[in-house]
Amino acid sequence: MLVGLLDLYCIAHINLGGGAEAPTRSQGLLQIRQEPFSRSIAATAMVNESNRTFERGIMTTKATDLQPRREFLKLAALAGAAALTGNNAAAGAQQSAGRNDGDNKMEFLHVSGRHIVDAKGNKVRLRGTCPGGWMNMEDFINGHPGAEHTLRAQMAEALGPAKAQFFFDRMLDYFFNEDDVIFLRKAGASVVRLPLNYRHFEDDVAPFKYKEAGFARLDQVLRHCENHGLYAILDLHSAQGWQNVHWHSDNASRISLFWDVPYYQDRYVALWQEFARRYANRAVVAGFDVLNEPCSNNHLGDYPWNVGPNYKPRLDRMNAVYRRLVGAIRKIDTRHIIFLEGDDYAKDFTGLDAPYDDNIAYSSHNYTVPGFGPGQYPGMVHPRSGAPEAWDLERQERSFLNADGTKFTQQHNVPLWVGEFGSVFNGPADENGDRLRALDDQIGIFERNEIHWTTWNYKDVGVMGMLTLDPASPYMERIKELLRKKAALGTDDWMKWLPPTPIKDATAQLAGQILQVVGDPQLDARLNARCLSQTLLCFYTGTLMQPLYASLFKGLSEDALDHVLSSFSAKRCVPNQGLVDVLSKYMTKPA
């Protein structure tokens, strides 16, 4: 408690003009480093083109940097204050994180019945968020169109390979670093789920050979987490061969090869064994979320007969892969929790094998209609894809308790972690309060049922993040017109809650005309329109726009690129204060 108060005192001291007289204890906190990661691994990667030192990206105390830093630290202090007042919440936050009192030593966590406990058997609650867009980019989070690997190819063609690599390195440097870890701990988070793309660790042209640069980046963030007492869950968000057919698995083809091709499963298991080898003795890693949103039986893409109510899982495939993977990891690492997600994007647990390891937990994803809107909550919500629905606390609770993941974990007396859920804030501005109320009720339900949770997403370009990029920042100004075009074209398939546009209406009309000519009465018109829209607008049109995105950065020097990409740094972002307040209210509670 004394240390936390001293930190807050020192932050206030600097913000109020105390300058160089701040106490020595706090200087490590106040000198928030944003050392470019690219520079720290330059020797390893043997990158020294044009004698680059990357000094331009280091946070300094120049007058131009001071005000954004002050504002960021002020926010961190305010969030931290919530953890230092009333009901011994600070102690509760430490218990929630499973930290030893008085130091930064972290303890291995493990499953005990339906709870997660520390080495002493104390219950630990995992509450936090996910920095999607960091080591697994997504269109609606980072602002680009299309999938990440095709975007990187277009950027290399437009900017040249070296400058394109610099662009992405600097984006990742700024997107999630020690500043963000400090912010989350001050807000009360006990865990961060780190979405990872396999391409950071292994190239398709060099299978089973692992890339030190990717592991070095991950190691750096794990060190920050360790230093500040924040647990991390490693989440393989994009697996070799694509475990689903959507954009968030870095899929640009709508084809999933993972479930049918043993070669991709071999690489997947081997990569997880490499993670196990490297992190078997790292208590900061709370566990391994081994496969994000798997979908075992629509390998040819989304069509009306294999999505939504017509989806038919192949859990024999999933059970076989999971059993093989758990056995392979346990040959190396017996201590970390392994989190298994349900089929059909972490929703379907019917037919999943009963727990066969004493340190397995399960993860569901629980997005809800009132979290997206539009419409009032409690009250009538008007989803774009269906008829109006009445939602309130009682219906949210009933929906959660009837969900497959909830029933499966209750039946088998094992922990449930809701790895993704959230509300959006880029719909009607006057409905942001409705989205917050829906989220508040949802987390309250999780808490009453002792569920672990992480929100989606931590930081983005203005959709659902705790922190959002400043609309006046250099990056947002540069892509402003492109974002307008993306919205008009509906390329971000995730954002179905947004109003219709002429292009989206024309696509729906085309879907209807196709259905009329095909003449198959078994095809669902609504699902057909949904699948065609995704194919035409998200995949084809999104990829079509990638050269336009790349052209926005062509000809810029590295100094200029660094300036633009610094827009992603926490100290330059704008907090969604209402969201931060709701999350902190629960994050700071005792376990």
Catalytic residues: 293, 420
Q: For 188, which DSSP code?
A: T
CA 573 to chain centre: 17
Distance between CA atoms of 13 and 22, rounded to whole angstroms? 6
Q: Which amino acid type is present at position 309? A: P
Structure-token pair, residue 243: 């475990």
* CA angle 477–249–148, rounded 5-degree value: 35
Spatial contact of 222 and 285, defined as CB atoms under 8 Å apart: yes
What is 197-255 written as a DSSP string? EGGGTEETTEEEEE-HHHHHHHHHHHHHHHHHT-EEEEEEEE-TT-SSSSGGGT-SSS-
Determine whether 15 is exposed, middle or buried from the number of CB atoms within 10 Å of its CB (0-12, 13-18, 19+).
middle
Q: Determine how many CB atoms are found less than 10 A away from the CB of residue 401.
A: 12
Spatial contact of 385 and 530, defined as CB atoms under 8 Å apart: yes
| C-alpha closest to that of 421 among 132, 186, 75, 76 | 132
Helix (H, G, I), strand (E, B) or coil at 48: coil
